[in-house]
Structure 1
Amino acid sequence: MPKTKTQYVCQSCGHVEIKWMGRCPACGEWNTLVEEVTTTSPNRLSGSSGRSQALPILSIPAQGERRFQTGVQECDYVLGGGVVPGSLVLIGGDPGIGKSTLLLQVSHAIARSGRRVLYISGEESATQIRLRAERLGTVHDDLFVLAETDLDLAIESAGQLHPDFLIVDSIQTVFRPGLTSAPGSVAQVRECTGVLLRFAKSQNIATFIVGHVTKDGAIAGPRMLEHMVDAVLYFEGERHHMYRVLRAVKNRFGSTNELAVFEMRDDGLREVANPSLLFLSERRVMAPGSAVVAAMEGRRPLLLEVQALVAPTSFGTPRRMTTGADLQRVNMLLAVLERRLGLQVGASDAYVNVAGGVRVDEPAVDLGIALALVSSHRDRPLAHGDLYIGEIGLTAEVRAVTRLSERLREARKLGFERCFVPAAQTIADSVAGLEVVPVQSVQDAIQKAF
């Protein structure tokens, strides 16, 4: 007979305890353990007829994934070339960033191609979705809307309609009546995702689910949620900026860490075909503290403007603030500049900003950040047509970076004249029509740049 068991699950990390505790021993959050009642059934061994058999890998037929286009090229690029039928994709982002808008535009594009789309909403009514669709111009006969929070009823309706594309907005608002936990709890999120996964695989329906994010930027719910799905997309961007970034951090059917850029307008999201040109369009000429770097986002080179400001501090401890860059990395570069080059920044505030609201974490932008800091400290602008690529070590050496040729070709395409690169890579990765300046250290780069 089924057995009932009471346990306490952390709503932040999914840790399970047999008794209530004020603080989660796994993640350290307070008042996050919530009581959940689960029903377990005794294990039953399945018959031999239902078991799978191990096969030699050479005897397994190799079949490529069949994909269909979403109609939004940038979205197809992030997904690896299109949507795979039967796949389950999780998309997360801050509230109001534009997740529902993006999915509604994708739904309309798929519906126009002759495929049937079902949009299940647990946050908005059908009337609200219709009003938003009219504002965005995404009304179509093959786009069906269902406002339902009961996942069992929603799955039943989807089984009768049998769409080609299914959207659940959001996974934290739907629930299964058989569980006593509240919607959005760890048990409900885990169980609802499992039900959608089995439904998508069995019916061969491409399914997108929307997930809320926590204050730390991670998708709310247990970490195993990201392991259950086939792809995880993050929709990022500053709410006060017009640009949005769609980033893939997991993709079983394509490359990870791909990136697509959209521009938010009154009539919805617009694709940005050349993000580098857009991010550099407002750059000032001959402005101290400004440098251009080349970052790789997946397979796409992205040229970005890095701005730095070094000013005397008004406090006992100087301030260090970054927007779009890693704060710890900037602190390391400041220490290298002060120790190895004698740059007196210990009594100065330092601010670093990546223009456009994009976040860059790779070390290849170190040289550009360092040159921007030196330019601001000396109040001398860098040449407008220069580009800086290279990782900086603790001994102030400029180290090699990956995929240099693609970065140089993007710089040449956008009209840059000189490119400062690590000395070890200049011969093999030179590009015709672009002056490549080899640098071995930060001191060498500063002497040649000024």
Structure 2
Amino acid sequence: MAPHTSTPSRGSVAGAAVMSAARPIRDVPLHEAASTPTGVGELDRVLGSGLVAGAVVLLAGEPGVGKSTLLLDVAARWAGGGRRTLYVSAEESAAQVRLRAGRTGALHDQLFLAAETDLGAVLTHIEQLDPELLVLDSVQAVTVSGTDGVAGGVAQVREVTNALVRVAKQRRLPVLLVGHVTKDGTVAGPRLLEHLVDVVLSFEGDRHSGLRLVRATKNRFGPADEVGCFEMTEGGIREVADPSHLFTSARAEPVPGTALTVTQEGRRPLLGELQALVAPSAAQTPRRVTHGLEGGRVSVILAVLERKAKVRLHNKEVYVSTVGGARVVDPAADLAVALAVASAAAEHAFHRPLIALGEVGLSGEVRRVAGVERRIAEAARLGFGLALVPPGSNIGLRGMRAVEVGTVAAAVDLLQLRPPKRRDPEAPRLRLAE
């Protein structure tokens, strides 16, 4: 009996050529996914140790945040390793980019510059130059001849990205793309753009502050929870390996309304300072103003202070802000926010520098947060010796005294931030002189 052979059904694809033969997974060489450091340590931290051959990386951020400056520095460092690098500017003239490169020290003989807005011209430059790194600024400004739509439109961005991804994979050429963001902070253009590339980086920062953060929101070659820290200066952008000093004020004496915490950006603990101001209000509805913090979360903490810790705020204006332009979304900062507001309301400063960690619940309890040991270790490294932590944290570090507090009211009483007539007579007191 002849063996049964199936024929492909209508609409199926049969006999297509394969790119490579299937093989046991153990036999797949790892060197094909090896990364090469860019020379910018903070960027390498986010990428997962460097750039992988054939990887397409999208760096998105608001206008003026420093995307072009950062990638021009990366291109110059890459060229400094003797590797031919092509920087294509689709938004600025070659003279403008040359001027910035001279100001930031990003000049090198192996760094080639072209100002093009047509994809065909960009591909021609790649063919002629055969670079080892391509930087395109920006992907929304390049167009494809014969494709409908304007530059930055869905059709144009899709065609440009598809073509660059194919070139990157065929030539094993790492590609860095600059992308714009919309008003709500998402990458401009079709959502497909983020799916086509291998790595999506978000470049964040307040243009009125020197602090810049690079976050990975997608990474096929490394962790997607790392953060790189940079500082924008007159001479360009520089990496900050130890950024904690950027988030605190250089003040010798403590003042009312300040509290310190340790936030966790990805897997990186960062010291942060929170400031609060409480002032009388003649308005029927007092103002609640926040900067660098979620307004809704701060409102919840103020309600808990009013209801559970008896801190009178109903007729007071409350202003809460972070230091250094940092944006704090970590719930571990809740307790520090509460103590900063209570300190401002009582006009009473802590007599000893301390760290406050803990998420605040609606019933006034202080909940545990992730990575407490890592946060406390960072505080101890910076010279702090006292920390208020949630119950069950089990911290045992030499030179660090960890005091567990179960509720916001207990923490407020512990630091004596309420008038004596409102304090719980049985509440413990913290001997700050110890």
Do the structures match in fold with TM over 0.5? yes
State the secondary structure of the residue aligned to 1:423: coil
Instruction: Tell whether the 8 Å contact from 2:134 to 2:176 is kept in structure 1 after alignment.
Output: yes
In 2, Cα distance between equivalents of 1:159 and 1:383 = 67
Q: Deviations over 1:331-372 (max 9, x none)?
A: 111111112122221222222111111111111111111111
| 1:174 to 1:310, Cα distance in 2 relative to 1, 3 A | same
Instruction: Give 1:29-428 correspondences, 5 Å limit.
Output: 46-50=13-17, 61=28, 63=30, 65-283=33-251, 285-425=253-393, 427=394
1:50 deviates by: 2.2
1:442 is aligned to 2:408:
yes
Give 1:268 deviation, angstroms.
Answer: 0.5
> Does the 8 Å contact 2:148/2:155 carry over to 1?
no
Distance in 2 (CA, whole Å) between partners of 1:393 and 1:116 is 55
C-alpha distance in 2 between matches for 1:183 and 1:336: 50
Higher Rg of the two aligned structures: 2
CA contact (8 A) 2:229 2:240 kept: yes
Change (3 A) 1:56 1:420: farther
Amino acid at match of 1:347: N
**Aligned to 2:141, what secondary structure does the other structure show?**
coil
CA contact (8 A) 1:276 1:304 kept: yes
The residue type equivalent to 2:50 in the other structure is: G
One-letter amino acid of the structure 2 residue matched with residue 380 of structure 1 = H
Name the count of aligned residue pairs.
406
**For the Cα contact (< 8 Å) 1:383–1:449, is it kept in 2?**
no
- Displacement, 1:217? 1.8
CA distance in 1, matches of 2:225, 2:280: 38
3-state SS in 2 of match to 1:261? strand
| CA distance in structure 2 between the aligned counterparts of 1:218 and 1:129, rounded to whole angstroms | 26
CA offsets per residue over residues 214-242 of structure 1, 9 Å max, x none? 12222211222222211111111111112
Which position in structure 1 is the counterpart of 2:4? none
Once residues 301 and 387 of structure 2 are traced to their aligned partners in structure 1, the CA distance between those partners, rounded to angstroms, is 20
Q: Give, in whole Å, the separation in 1 of the partners of 2:11 and 2:99.
A: 51
Does the C-alpha gap of structure 1 residues 50 and 283 become closer, same or farther in structure 2, counting only changes over 3 Å?
Answer: farther
Structure 1 residues 415 and 165, CA gap change in structure 2 (3 angstroms)? same
Q: Does the 8 Å CA contact 2:262/2:269 hold for their aligned counterparts?
A: yes
Gaps of at least 5 residues in structure 2 are 1-9, 417-434
- Percent identical residues: 46
Is the CA contact 1:390–1:401 (under 8 Å) kept in the aligned structure 2?
yes
* CA deviation vs aligned residue, 1:369-397 (integer Å, no higher than 9, x gap): 11111111111112442000111111111
Counterpart CA distance in 2 for 1:431 and 1:251 is 34
Equivalent-residue separation in structure 2 for 1:111 and 1:53 (angstroms): 32
Which deviations, in whole Å up to 9, do the C-alpha atoms of 1:235-287 show, x marking residues without a partner? 11111112212222221111123212212111101221211133225246221
| Aligned counterparts of 2:272 and 2:26: Cα–Cα separation in 1 | 48
Q: Which runs of 4+ in 1 moved over 6 A?
A: 52-57
Contact 1:257 1:298 in 2 (8 A): yes
Label 1:54 to 1:294 Cα distance change in 2 as closer, same or farther (>3 A). farther
| 2:309–2:412 Cα contact (<8 Å) kept | no
User: Amino acid of the residue matched to residue 378 of structure 2?
Assistant: E
- Give the aligned CA root-mean-square deviation in angstroms: 2.0
Change (3 A) 1:168 1:322: same
Instruction: Quote how far apart the aligned CAs of 1:208 are.
Output: 0.8
Q: Which letter does structure 2 place at the counterpart of 1:242?
A: G
Structure 2 CA distance, aligned partners of 1:382 and 1:269?
36
**Aligned-partner residue type, residue 110 of structure 2:** D
Which digits, 9 at most, give the CA deviation of each residue in 1:153-205, with x for residues without a partner?
20121122221111110011101012120101111112211111111111111
SS at match of 1:315: coil
TM-score normalised over the length of structure 2:
0.89
Could you list the runs of 5+ residues in structure 1 that have no partner in the other structure? 1-42
| Counterpart contact for 2:367–2:390, Cα < 8 Å | yes
Q: Distance in 2 between matches of 1:154 and 1:106?
A: 20
Distance in structure 2 (CA, Å) of the matches to 1:46 and 1:359 = 51
In structure 2, distance between residues paired with 1:56 and 1:364: 47
Aligned partners of 1:79 and 1:251 also within 8 Å? yes
| Structure 2: distance between partners of 1:221 and 1:430 | 50
